[in-house]
Amino acid sequence: MLSYINILDGLYYASILYLLSLGLNLVFGVSKLLNLGHGSFYSLGAYITAWFIGIALSYYRQSQALLLIPYLGIAIGAIAVAAIGALLEKTIIRFLYNITLERQLLATYGILLIFSDIERMIWGGNILSAPQPVDLLGNINVGGYYYPTYYILLIIISFSIGIGMHLFIYKTDIGILIRATSYDRELAPGLGINVRRVSTVTFLLSAFLAGLAGSLIVPITSATLGMEIEPLILAFIVSVIGGLGSFWGSLIGSILIGELRSLGIALFPEIELAIVFLIAAIVLAIRPEGLLGKRYGR
């Protein structure tokens, strides 16, 4: 039987996909880069957060800082991944902007594999867990059902960050430069815009969003090798359904996929992913550029 708990579960799935797809769309909108390595930022955020929380709690388990450590770990995980993203953009990614989409996919898939090996070297095949935020916050009564408070917090944080990113892009000077570059990357230097710097800032923000998604999910799902594959595929589906490069498309697509997945798990658990792919195929058959997207060609 369906209940509003299923709707909340759908929003929980959607909130993580929203952060991931927003980062994908931000980079594609500005640099026209399809970045499969985006999934690595998600898993790195999860690993760094779980690792930090585990180390910190081993030293401060009895102190009053116990309540703050998990949230400090989430912030550190996201910021560390943003820094890694900026470094990656300056050393490798900027050389991929002007190549074909097929080569971009191949190159960024290689980056995904390299980061996977780095994670294996640092943390081995170990599974890192950090369930403390979920345990510390307990459950909340939602219409007679007890639902984990952390899940509600995750939904609020994710959508708030997404809306905050939207305001940043549309209400700040840096955001104006990012939008101007996304409209015409070739013309932007003629207007005095430092396109390289804008691209670095954009990629840093994209890595931050994916790292934050990984940091927020690790109290619920342990950090493990290969954890980035399914969320990355679903985030691409969200981006394609919503429209590549579209902020509002990310929001609508993530809610659609999140709720569909929750509905599929409740009613048809054996084919829940098949339902998602079927709906994606129908949307693309009717509107190939996505619900709010533009047609791109190269």
- For 180-217, what is each residue's pLDDT tens digit? 888 888 888 888 889 999 999 999 999 999 999 999 99
Residue 128, SS3 per DSSP? strand
Q: Measured in whole angstroms, how far is the alpha carbon of residue 244 from the centre of its chain?
A: 15
Question: How does the average pLDDT of the chain come out, rounded?
Answer: 88
- Under 8 Å between Cβ of 150 and 137: yes
- For 82-101, what is each residue's pLDDT tens digit? 999 999 999 999 999 989 98
- For 120-143, what is each residue's pLDDT tens digit? 999 988 899 888 788 888 898 887
Q: What share of the chain is helix, strand, coil (3-state, %, to 5)?
A: 75, 5, 20
Residue 295 pLDDT class (50, 70, 90 cuts): low
Residue 194, SS3 per DSSP? coil
Please check the confidence at residue 152 and state whether its pLDDT lies above 80: yes
- Type of residue found at 59: Y
Q: Backbone dihedral region of 138: left (phi > 0), alpha (psi from -120 to 50 degrees) or beta?
A: left
Predicted TM-score (pTM) of this structure: 0.91
